[in-house]
A = this chain, B = another copy of it.
C-alpha cells in the first residue's frame, strides 16, 4: 500500500512516516514506480510508533521499544525498565509543572487586573525574591 494509505491507517502523517524512515526507524519496500510500499506488518509498526510517541516516549526510546516489539525473545523486564524510567520522568515533569502553576496562580489571584499600573505579577517577576508557591 502507498504511504497515504499507511498514514491513514497508522494515524501518522505521510511526512512523519518519511521522517521516521529518514532517521532509520523503519524502512519501507519500494514499488516499481519508486513509491514506498507498506505491508500490514509495517502499518502495525507505524501504529506502535504512533502510540508510543503519544504516550510521551522520545523517538530514541521508540527505537528501543520497536526493537523489543519485534523481538519475540525479548524479556518483559527490558520493556518494563524503559516504561518505568519514562514514568519517573513524567512524574518529575508533573511535579515541576504543578509548582509552576501554583506560583502563577498566586500571582494571578493577587492582581486586581484593572486600569491601574500597579501589578503584583510584574513585581513578582521582577522582584528580588521568589514568589511564594
Contact = CB atoms under 8 A, between A and B. Distances in A.
Contact of A83 (B81, B98, B108): B108
B125 A76 contact: no
Interface in A32-75: 44, 47-48, 51-52, 55-56, 65, 68-69, 71-75
Oligomer: number of copies? 2
Contact of A97 (B80, B97, B111, B121): B97
Interface residues of A, number: 51
A31 interface: no
A96 to B, nearest CB: 9
A90 B98 CA distance: 8
Nearest to A51: B125
Interface in A88-125: 90-91, 93-94, 97-98, 100-101, 103-105, 107-108, 111-119, 121-122, 124-125
Interface of A: 44, 47-48, 51-52, 55-56, 65, 68-69, 71-77, 79-81, 83-84, 86-87, 90-91, 93-94, 97-98, 100-101, 103-105, 107-108, 111-119, 121-122, 124-126
